[in-house]
Structures are given as C-alpha cells and as structure tokens.
C-alpha cells in the first residue's frame, strides 16, 4: 500500500482537516488519517453513483450483519445483529444512551483528559458532568480505580459511565483485569456502561483490544458504540452503530424519541458495509504503517525535543505530547500554529490533564510527519 499522497490534492478536496486552517498550515489536529479507504468502498460507491439511485433506502438494516462479521474477524466476539441500532455518528449514539438511561440532573461519569464533545454532552442534555481523572505516572497514563469507587460512593446519582476504549487522547488500552474491575464496579453501583470503541482497530503489538461486551457480566449493563469512520476515513459519510448487550437495554434505547436514532446516510451505510466485509487485510496494512510512524515520532521527540514528554500510544494514530516544560500559554496549539505553521489539537480543550499538552495526528505520510517534527523542534527552540 502506498502511504504517500498528493498534498495539493488534499488541500483542494474539501476536507475539514485540510481546509480549517488553509494551505499555509500542516494539519495534525483532527483524528482522521490520510490513507483513504479499502478499494471495495470506491467500487461500491462508484456503482451506486452510476446507478443514480439516491432515494429512501433500507441499507442500514444490513449494518448489523456486516458488523457482526467484522467483530468476529477482528476480536473473536460474536455479535447478535438484532441488537444493533444504526445511527449517524458515535456521538448521536452516546447522546441516545444518555437520553435512554439517565434523567435530568443525574451524573455522567467519564475520564479526563477526554474527547472534547464528551465534556459538553452532559450539560447539553441537562445532566451533570462528573470527572474520573486519569493519573499520569512515570510509565504513562493510568486509570485510577481507587478514585472510581470513591466518586461513585459519594455521588449515588451517577447513572452512566462513559468509556473511551481505546482512549482518546492518550492511546491507552484497557487491560482485561481493568475491564473486569470496571464492569464489577459498574454493576455494584447500578451504572450503565457506554463503551465508545471507535479506535479499536488501531491496536499495536504490545496490546490487545478486548471489547467491553466480552467481559463476563458486561452484557447486562453495557452498550457499545462504534463506527468505521476512524478506521476507514469515512467520517463525512455519517454512519455508526449502537450495540446493546441484551434485549432490555436494546428496548430502552428504542424508546427514546424517534429522531434521536437512525438516519444513517445511504453512502455511509454502503461504504461501511463494504469496509467491514472486505477490509480486514487492508486494516492490517494500515496498522503496520502506523506502527512505524508512532515509533519514529516517539524516537525523534525523545532525541530532538528532550524537554517534551510523549508516551508511546498503545492504540490510535494520535500522540499526546506534554510540552508543559515550555512556556506556551493557555493555548499551546495556537502558540505553535503561529510559530510553526502546524495545526495541532489543543490539550486544554480535552479538560483536566490537558494543560500544556498538544495532540498530534501521526496517521499521515512519512514525509509530512517528519516535516511536522522538524518544525515542532525548531519552533520550541
């Protein structure tokens, strides 16, 4: 697979990643890789466009079968297609879970630092945000299980624990014993686990993704939300799935207002189905490319910017880099954008734990990544 591409073409392609800051800036800010989609996606969409059939559709009904195949192939987890609800995006799925499994004023618990929309979701739905802060140790970011019990015992009105596993932005992957602890604690405190597993296809050699629903007892309390958007660069086609662990959870979700569910785009459904049915080998190649990228980035940061701190991500194509030794102000990304011409993700936007950090998307060409590292090192001198 050729992991290089025409940069000029990308700036002219109408992609938000490349458009937001314009052609004077290199984009490293959004969680979208530059490797395109499996060949079957283009073939299927070409056939669809050629046919000119753009009316109402029922292709979303086929997503369950396709995801079941993908889940079994990638994670050896058998999924009941009847427990799958098509949605437009992972965020729509999470919002539907908030509506189905909590009431106004109740708490939504999530890790910080966190994917920024998760920080906003509770207040938009008139719920309370409750932070479960991750710990930064000498060896990387960790989940604090002692504080989890303390938080839940002190706040009996928490109804949902929102997981992002693999974790965005740190790239941490929950281990089996950790997932067991989370499931047991959630059961103890009568929580619903909403597990965002959108990055689960990007797993490196030292780690294993274990779906939350693979843990004993999880099916009683867990709803998984995922999509092919990150894996196959399909975010613009708007298609995701919500998988309930049992019929009771599934039926509660179906009781939310009708227009809070569904609506997946025909193109998105077709592209996602084609990817999940044919893209396993293609995905393996992408992970191999990213394996090289993450190690190259880590090595160069360690050797050329020794005052920066970066832990090797266990998953995702995102690097979470601590630049707190440098005086970059309250908006490190803006400072560096003006100094280096690179648009990074801004650490403080990810909440507690994001101070002094940037997020760098390394899912790009080797040449572009090296240029980013060169400019970052020069800009921090």
pLDDT tens per residue across span 219-264:
999 999 999 999 999 999 999 999 999 999 999 999 999 888 889 9
CATH number at residue 71: 3.40.640.10
Domain encompassing residue 318: 7-30+280-379
Question: Which strand (E) or helix (H) includes residue 136?
Answer: strand 135-137
Q: Are both 365 and 284 inside the same structural domain?
A: yes
Q: CA 220, 101, 131, 224 torsion: positive or negative? A: positive
Each residue of 21-50: pLDDT tens digit? 999 999 999 999 999 999 999 999 999 999
* Whether residues 233 and 291 fall in one domain: no
Is 363 within 8 Å of 34 (Cβ atoms)? yes
Claim to verify: residue 21 and residue 91 sit in the same structural domain: no
- Cα–Cα dist 201/198, whole Å: 8
Same domain, 96 and 244: yes
In a domain, 131, yes or no: yes
Q: What are phi and psi of 306, to 5 degrees?
A: -60, -20
Which pLDDT band holds residue 146 (cuts at 50, 70, 90)? Answer: very high
Confidence band (pLDDT; 50, 70, 90) for 1?
Answer: low
Note whether 69 and 179 are same-domain residues: yes
Of 278, 311, 331, at which residue does a domain stop?
A: 278
What pLDDT was estimated at residue 212? Answer: 98
Identify the domain boundary among 251, 278, 305: 278
Same domain flag for 121 and 270: yes
pLDDT for position 258:
82
- 122 and 211 in one domain? yes
Distance CA 260, CA 380 (A): 45
Token representation of residue 71 = 């889940």
CA 162, CA 151: separation in Å to the nearest integer?
14
pLDDT at 381 over 70: yes
Residue 176 sits in the same domain as residue 83: yes
């Amino acid at each position: 697979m050729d992991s290089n591409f025409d940069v000029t073409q990308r700036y002219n392609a109408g992609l938000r990643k490349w458009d937001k800051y314009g052609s004077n800036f290199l984009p490293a800010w959004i969680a979208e890789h530059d490797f395109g989609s499996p060949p079957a996606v283009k073939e299927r969409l070409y056939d669809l466009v050629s046919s000119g059939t753009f009316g109402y559709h029922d292709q979303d009904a086929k997503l369950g079968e396709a995801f079941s195949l993908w889940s079994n192939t990638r994670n050896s987890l058998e999924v009941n297609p009847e427990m799958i609800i098509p949605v437009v995006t992972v965020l729509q799925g999470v919002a539907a879970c908030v509506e189905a499994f909590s009431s106004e004023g109740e708490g939504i618990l999530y890790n910080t630092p966190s994917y920024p929309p998760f920080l906003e979701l509770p207040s938009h739905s008139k719920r309370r945000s409750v932070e479960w802060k991750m710990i930064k140790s000498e060896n990387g970011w960790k989940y604090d299980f002692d504080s989890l019990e303390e938080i839940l015992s002190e706040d009996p009105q928490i109804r949902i624990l929102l997981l992002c596993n693999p974790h965005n932005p740190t790239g941490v992957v929950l281990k089996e014993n950790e997932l067991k602890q989370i499931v047991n604690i959630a059961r103890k405190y009568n929580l619903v686990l909403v597990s965002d597993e959108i990055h689960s296809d990007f797993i490196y050699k030292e780690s294993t993704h274990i779906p939350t629903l693979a843990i004993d007892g999880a099916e009683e309390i867990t709803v998984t939300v995922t999509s092919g958007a990150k894996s196959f660069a399909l975010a613009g086609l708007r298609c995701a799935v919500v998988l309930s662990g049992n019929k009771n959870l599934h039926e509660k979700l179906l009781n939310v207002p009708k227009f809070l569910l569904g609506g997946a785009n025909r193109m998105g459904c077709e592209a996602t189905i084609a990817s999940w049915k044919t893209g396993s080998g293609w995905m393996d190649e992408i992970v191999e490319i990213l394996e090289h990228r993450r190690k190259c980035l880590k090595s160069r940061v360690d050797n050329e910017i020794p005052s920066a701190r970066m832990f090797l991500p266990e998953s995702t194509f995102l690097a979470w880099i601590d630049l707190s030794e440098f005086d970059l102000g309250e908006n490190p990304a803006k400072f560096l954008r003006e100094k280096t011409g690179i648009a990074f993700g801004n650490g403080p936007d990810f909440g507690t734990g994001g101070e002094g950090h940037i997020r760098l998307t390394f899912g790009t060409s080797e040449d572009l990544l090296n240029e980013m590292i060169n400019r970052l090192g020069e800009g921090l001198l």
